Amino acid sequence: MTPVAIEHERVSRADRLLQDIAIRHGVPTSAADSVAADPVDRFLVAYVPESRPGTATLHEVEYAFTPSMSEALELLGRVISETHEGEGAAAYVHDLDAGMH
């Protein structure tokens, strides 16, 4: 595949995965939520912050792209914030190149 084709496939896969994650966690989705066509690294990192008593529910899935699995895990370690009272948090790391030939 050409670099342009790989980039296009990564964006398409990331869009589908982020929509699936949002639906699974009851986060509203819209056409405006699609991934920007900026360079997209190989690993999609998505995080759904926990719901905490007394705070407004978050209405988006946070995400970023990293070039490696280890950087994805390091990023999650820096951004995850949790409490004993919170619930519903989720973290996802997906290799967008899996299955591409």
Q: Is residue 75 part of a domain?
A: yes
pLDDT digits (tens, 9 = 90+) for 8-51: 999 999 999 999 999 998 887 765 567 776 778 999 999 988 87
Report DSSP letters for 51-80, one per residue.
Answer: B-TTSPPP-S-EEEEESSHHHHHHHHHHH-
Residue 101's pLDDT is what? 60
Q: Do the beta carbons of residue 96 and residue 10 sit within 8 Å?
A: yes
* Token pair belonging to 51: 């719901």
Closest CA to 46 of 67, 86, 19: 19
Domain count, the chain: 1
* Range of the structural domain that residue 67 is part of: 3-95
Closest CA to 82 of 43, 48, 37: 48
Q: Is residue 100 part of a domain?
A: no
Residue 83's pLDDT is what? 82
